[in-house]
Structure 1
């Protein structure tokens, strides 16, 4: 059984550059097993932060990419048929609760509300997960913690967490790092110079000013790392930015021209 959970251990320390006191706050939250909610735009480092903390705390990390087709059984578990008959297979949430892992529900608002309510008994003083189909009341391992993330910029009245869910979590706000830190991150992750990384960050800053004025989201730190990685491989910087930054975020010809112009300004 240890083999099952050991595959979820984060054995190498991920690179994460703290921007405030989020590491200390998360450690304190974990010490009392407080469920945590990470809020921030896509590609700003939420998932990397959870991986970093799991490594720092020495705990396995089971990540679930939430989507609207996900059912409660996908999280909790189900009976499967094999040559010996039927057997129960824990879902990722039950696996984490049973073995003391951190369970990370990424973009949790993408899941249906009738699915996310299954986490409620694990996020209060009960710390239990009813496996109704199996007839088992699973009591969470002392090391178990649940972490969720979502992007408030995409939420709507139809896609938001219920107050009864939100109030079970502590919250940490994430955003794109300030210029100097973001430049350092892009340079470290890609191997390009700080000068070139700074140019990519300048392009991103311009795009973020266009959020709500033609762009749903500005360029993320993740996208800058993609562009920097191409540049590090010898791709022309303008071509790298076109492929990794401009084309993925918009199909609008005018917005593409504006972003291409921003790229040309710096490269």
Structure 2
């Protein structure tokens, strides 16, 4: 009787990468970063266009190099690039990554793994956390602040350096791989959402948060977002990319309730145009460049089709003011 042999991921071998070349920076320092050789591992993220903020990148790389017993928590508004910062750094270092989209009903067993039925047998299938601890991957708990704090309490010992114990697999003990890294993201800083903008955010235990160093992430500045669009949609005219970024900042200003910068008669918006949404709008504008009123057509799909009619009209009115004649006529291919 033949036994089916499943292909195993290639063994990870360490490799070193030069900072400037790897992250497209221009510094006067020669710094080598430890990562892994490019072996086609399926868990290594795909490299995508990304403009790294130097300060945040410095903090992230310091953590990846030596967490010193900490986890890393990135906090900031929706779509500002918290997760992408980690994923794109990992992609360039060829570091396998396990992504866990957190939800309010998540249980610890979802992270550890479970036994599954396979041709009459019940082998144990390792979860994202178990795999990351065992093989030295980066674990990203995306939107960790919506998780039940009681479930996360089961991870305290792990972040303190204790091995992972899988009671579900006969008490298997998994020592923590020296290259394992625990990263979490959240729209809040863990103390709950006082703004009321993010549904489902829960106040996390202080004992849990005390195990993390924190990086605050905000939307990129105007120059950086123009650079991002330059990489993602280089075929869009420069003036269009600039006006898209200007509109995004106007929408954000009204979303955050910046009364000091808000003009008389302007209302606060309940939605924002994140960097993620901005890129989506730009790509759709390029995709549908032959459509009438293409920027309005694309903006509806990217954002405004899901908002109340009054807010949709307000955003489109601001866009018309920002774009001028371009709003009516679109752009040439």
Structure 1 length-normalised TM: 0.90
Higher percent of residues as helix: 1
Could you report, residue by residue, the CA deviation over 1:194-243 in whole angstroms, capped at 9, with x for unpaired residues?
A: 21111111111111112255434421011111111111121411211222
Could you report, residue by residue, the CA deviation over 1:47-92 in whole angstroms, capped at 9, with x for unpaired residues?
A: 2111122123331011111111222111111122233432211110
Structure-2 change in CA distance of 1:123 and 1:83 (3 Å): same
Residue 111 of structure 1 deviates from its aligned partner by 2.1
| 1:187 pairs with 2:243 | no
Look up the SS of the partner of 1:82 in the other structure: coil
Kindly report which structure 2 residues correspond to 1:64-213, keeping only aligned pairs within 5 A, or say none: 64-126=100-162, 128-134=163-169, 135-152=171-188, 155-156=192-193, 159-191=202-234, 192-213=236-257
Match of 2:277 in 1: 223
Aligned residues between the structures: 263
In the TM superposition, structure 1's runs of 4+ consecutive aligned residues that sit over 6 Å from their partners are: none
Structure-2 change in CA distance of 1:95 and 1:116 (3 Å): same
Could you tell which deviates more after superposition, 167-176 or 149-158?
A: 149-158
Mapped contact 1:37–1:172 kept (Cα < 8 A)? yes
Structure 1 spans left out of the alignment, 5+ residues: none
Look up the SS of the partner of 1:142 in the other structure: coil
Could you report, residue by residue, the CA deviation over 1:78-136 in whole angstroms, capped at 9, with x for unpaired residues?
A: 1222334322111100011101000111011222222222332221233x222122212
Could you report, residue by residue, the CA deviation over 1:26-45 in whole angstroms, capped at 9, with x for unpaired residues?
A: 11111213421111111111
CA distance in 2, matches of 1:198, 1:205: 11
| 1:3 pairs with 2:9 | yes
CA distance in 1, matches of 2:176, 2:243: 48
Structure 2 length-normalised TM: 0.73
CA distance in 1, matches of 2:285, 2:44: 32
Larger RCO of the pair (alpha carbons < 8 Å, separation 6+): 1
CA distance in 1, matches of 2:233, 2:128: 32
CA distance in 1, matches of 2:209, 2:89: 22
Structure-2 change in CA distance of 1:78 and 1:151 (3 Å): same
Mapped contact 1:14–1:51 kept (Cα < 8 A)? no
Structure-2 change in CA distance of 1:56 and 1:118 (3 Å): farther
Give RMSD over aligned pairs. 2.2
Larger radius of gyration: 2
Residue 153 of structure 1 deviates from its aligned partner by 8.5
Mapped contact 1:224–1:245 kept (Cα < 8 A)? no
CA distance in 2, matches of 1:42, 1:206: 16
CA distance in 1, matches of 2:303, 2:230: 16
| 1:255 pairs with 2:311 | yes
Could you report, residue by residue, the CA deviation over 1:123-177 in whole angstroms, capped at 9, with x for unpaired residues?
A: 1233x22212221222111110010001128943861322111111111111111
